Chains A and B, each alone.
Chain A
Amino acid sequence: MKVAFYGRLAEAVGTELDIEAPPGCSIAELRNKVIAEHPQAEEALRNRRARACVGDAIVHDSYALTATDRVEFLPPVSGG
């Protein structure tokens, strides 16, 4: 499954990873898999203001992924 990263997360692990995740895997499980393979991303991925996105919509930790989903992990945003 393609997983994309932005900001400090992209700096830590790259802009995109291929992570093996079975259909039905939740966002929380996917996050744990990414952290297991890339422990340097743990702090930013577990930040309470970090978000996961599928199809340009914010999804919660319990969201069950389908085979065609592309997940994006966003660290806390900051404009202005």
Chain B
Amino acid sequence: MSIVARLEEHALKPEQELAALLEEAKGGGAIVSFTGIARPGSKGGLAVDRLVLEHHPTLTPQSLEDIAVEAAQRFDVSQVRVVHRCGAVEAGEPIVFAGAAALHRRAAFEAADYLMDRLKTEAVFWKREIGDAGSEWIEPTERDYADRERWG
């Protein structure tokens, strides 16, 4: 079992994270990865230049670690990899990478889905959109909380 949970202050390169997961998962049969990208538009349709993700010095890395470890315990996976940006992320750039490797695909799909539902609602970040509307705090939607509740 290998678990990576990393707070990334600089550019997140999903292709490098996937390559690392492929390397670690030799002998497995499935990898599922998700990459979240900063959207160039707000819910209200205004242009967004960048997202700014504030974090807590201890609680944020701990939250990433807890979510990755709990995914590894819950599903029949051999690798879990979570990398999350902090700081300013320009529109179009990756914010988060969540990947899992397993012997069979179902566990990898479920682990990646679970990772993202928990990251959306429990990873310790405070997120602002900067753009035509000025600066807007973004919090999880009721749908995000409902998605999280699916896992109990």
A interface, CB within 8 angstroms of B: 6-8, 10-11, 49, 53, 56, 72, 74-80
Contacts and interface: CB of A to CB of B under 8 A. Distances in A.
Nearest to A55: B58
Contact of B126 (A6, A49, A53, A72): A6
A78 B141 CA distance: 10
B56 interface: yes
B139 A6 contact: no
B8 to A, nearest CB: 12
Contacts of A76: 139-140
Interface in B38-75: 53-54, 56, 58-59, 62-63
B36 A74 contact: no
Interface residues of B, number: 25
Contact of B120 (A72, A75, A78): A78
Contacts of B95: 80
A79 B125 contact: yes
21 contacts: A6-B56, A6-B126, A8-B126, A10-B54, A11-B137, A49-B139, A53-B59, A56-B58, A74-B124, A75-B139, A76-B139, A76-B140, A77-B121, A77-B123, A78-B127, A78-B138, A79-B63, A79-B124, A80-B36, A80-B84, A80-B95
B80 interface: no
Nearest to B125: A79
Nearest to A75: B126
Contacts of B107: none
Contact of B119 (A8, A74, A75, A79): A79
A10 B55 CA distance: 12
Contacts of A80: 36, 84, 95-96, 116, 119-120, 123
